[in-house]
Amino acid sequence: MILVTGATGHVGAELVTRLAAEGVQVRAMTRRPEATRFARGVEVVEGDCEAPESLRKAFEGVEGAFLMTSQATGSAKLHTAVQVDAAKAAGVRYVVKLSVARGGEEGHPLVAAWHREDEGAVTESGIDFTMLRPGRFMSNTLGWKHMLARGDTVYVPFARKATTPIAPEDIAAVAAEALTTDRFKNEVLELSGAEVLTPEQELAIVGEILNRELTLEEPSVEATIDGIARSGMDRGLAAAMVEHVLQGSYGAEIWPTVERVLGRKPMTFQQWAGKHFKEEA
């Protein structure tokens, strides 16, 4: 049995679907089992990392697990540590952890230290692991849809920051490979798409797909920090997050990993957006 945490998320949902299609026994964890539908044969289990005891049932009888949540960077009680404790207690033999580009090896000291601690909960657990370190998800652009429903102006922070965006489908395919083979035991996999793009360029591609003239507005750095702080994050940490994203070439490296693991090129943004924005056209 393989447990997928974050099973309703961009990567997790793709991973559950893929594993189920491959005939793997899969259990999907969510805080809202009643609000979620998965493919036939998928076992659904309720689990909330804020309530560690709820994870006992989720990890019971599991051989391998995919670990993630969307916990805000800098949060005090690490969800990863809670998941790893549950995995250890259940005798899980193998985990695949969704981390971030460079895993805290570079960037703002506050942010980097948190990511190192997050990865450390896995790498120091004694459980065999594969660490996935993707750059920016293409699915971040899905946040534009509510603006596109109202008009042609889209507010895009970090609009001119170049990255190598990756499709959640590709991350899920790599995770599935790591969970179902021994190929990447105790390896760290830096992941990226195959092209360097700015969000401004991504919006231009979405405009072509939708056949609409779209206008980009980039909020100021201050406004971006305010926006993050309004979502509940300490303002100093929000400022650190913004600095972390903007500095250097963080998240803009092209890695050959997806092709090495899957034997095919990563999806381009054009391909991915064609699939996910098409219904708007």
Nearer Cβ to ligand NAP (34/182): 34
Contacting residue, 3, 4, 12, 108, with ligand NAP by CB under 6 A: 12
What lies within 8 Å, CB to CB, of 120 at 6+ separation is none
The residue within the footprint of ligand NAP, chosen from 43, 48, 128, 280 (CB under 6 A), is 48
CB of 211 to ligand NAP, least distance (A): 27
Q: Is 45 in the site for ligand NAP (CB under 6 A)?
A: no
Using the minimum distance from each CB to ligand NAP, give the nearer residue, 88 or 211: 88
CB nearer to ligand NAP: pick between 117 and 215: 117
**Cβ contacts of 248 within 8 Å, gap of 6 or more:** 106, 107
In the bound complex, what is the minimum distance in angstroms from residue 270's beta carbon to ligand NAP? 18
Residues in the chain: 281
Say whether residue 97 binds ligand NAP (CB under 6 A): no
Q: Are 62 and 90 contacting, i.e. CB atoms less than 8 angstroms apart?
A: yes
211 — alpha (psi -120 to 50), left (phi > 0) or beta?
left
Q: How far is the CB of 139 from ligand NAP (least distance, A)?
A: 6
Contact 217, 184 (CB under 8 A): no
Question: Is residue 53 part of the contact set for ligand NAP (CB under 6 A)?
Answer: no
Q: Does the CA dihedral 36-40-45-49 come out positive or negative? A: negative
Coil vs helix vs strand at 95: strand
Neighbours of 119 (CB within 10 A): 21
Read off φ and ψ for residue 151, nearest 5 degrees: 175, -165
Return the residue of 21, 22, 32, 61 that touches ligand NAP, per CB under 6 A: 32
Q: Which stretch binds ligand NAP (CB under 6 A): 8-16, 141-149, 218-226, 253-261?
A: 8-16
Binding residues for ligand NAP (CB under 6 A): 6-12, 30-32, 47-50, 68-70, 98, 100, 134, 136-137, 139-140
